[in-house]
Amino acid sequence: MKRRTLTRHGREGLKNIRRNGWMSFASISAVAIMLFVVGVFGFLIINTNSLVDTIENDVEIRAFFEQDVESSQQENLMEDIEQNASVESVIYRDRDEGLDYFLDSLGSEGAVFENLRDENPLNDALIIQATDPQMTEPLAEEIRSQPEVETVEYGETILSELFTVTNYIRVIGGALVIGLIFTSIFLISNTIKLTIISRKDEIQIMKLVGATNSFVRYPFFIEGMLIGIFGAIIPIAGLTAGYYYLHSFMYDQIPFFTLVDPNPMIWQVSAILLFISVIVGAFGSQMSVRKFLRV
């Protein structure tokens, strides 16, 4: 298409939006509201998944050696575990370090147990983290079977329940976002269709005076895209400003619970919302115009 023709169609698209003010306003408002809802739920799901990932990545296996295991045997087992493809990291913690860690975790109340330093009841241990949290249980069972290991702890019951809950969160969250996106596409598309259908007489007159299908279609195509763009500006601006404020507030007031960093996440979500609005706007307008064109 020639640049001049494209410019003319663009001007016609803008004129149509101004000429049909209330219907255009209704379409833009529908786009804005639905995209805002999708964006809010999108941010919620992203942060929920981030929290779930953080919890899962904190899962670790504690393998305690038998009391009579020599240091060379400990080193050999540690090397074998490190070579396992399912292992992310292995940290050796001797019994004295283990006691220090235990006392530090108790804070001021740890002073009561200072007498344990004379007869330390703890064993040397390995702290192991799996590359995939879902591999924690089979990895722990494999380590438990080693003769040098006395006990293995990884919170079996809690871990099983945790993975069940986190899997449900991911599935339900993903389904919810997809459902909202398709609902938005349906509602936005139909709202824009109503805007176009209300001007069926205008389309029929253009056809009667000899306008080609492309000449009729392109202004509406651009109009639909512009409705999508205008409808996306407000929710994207509101979501961006709101998320930056909420992220800063949470960081200052609740430092132990931080939201996902806005960059680049918020720009990725904004790009997706803009893409959806433009595609749906253009698609909705074209589906409506086709009803009045004999292609």
- Pick the closest to residue 32 from 220, 184, 246, 137 (CA basis): 184
Taking 90 as the threshold, does the pLDDT of residue 168 lie above it? no
pTM of the predicted protein model: 0.68
pLDDT band with cut points at 50, 70 and 90 for residue 239: very high
Q: Position 271: which residue type?
A: A
Q: What is the pLDDT of residues 106-120, one digit of tens each?
A: 666 666 666 666 677
Q: What is the pLDDT of residues 172-199, one digit of tens each?
A: 877 877 887 777 667 666 766 676 676 6
Domain boundaries, the chain: 3-55+163-290, 60-153
Tokens 């430092």 locate to: 255
291 Cβ neighbours under 8 A, 6+ residues apart: 197, 200
Q: How many other C-beta atoms can be found within 10 angstroms of the C-beta atom of residue 151?
A: 12
- Pick the closest to residue 47 from 273, 184, 247 (CA basis): 247
C-alpha span between 134 and 119 (Å, rounded)? 37
Tokens 């809802």 locate to: 37
Structural class in CATH, domain 60-153: alpha beta
Q: What is the pLDDT of residues 18-77, one digit of tens each?
A: 766 677 787 788 888 888 888 888 888 888 888 777 777 778 888 998 888 888 888 899
Q: Is 209 within 8 Å of 78 (Cβ atoms)? A: no
Q: Is 59 within 8 Å of 131 (Cβ atoms)? A: no
**Residue 155 phi, psi dihedral angles, 5° rounding:** 65, 55
Q: What is the pLDDT of residues 76-94, one digit of tens each?
A: 999 999 998 888 889 888 8
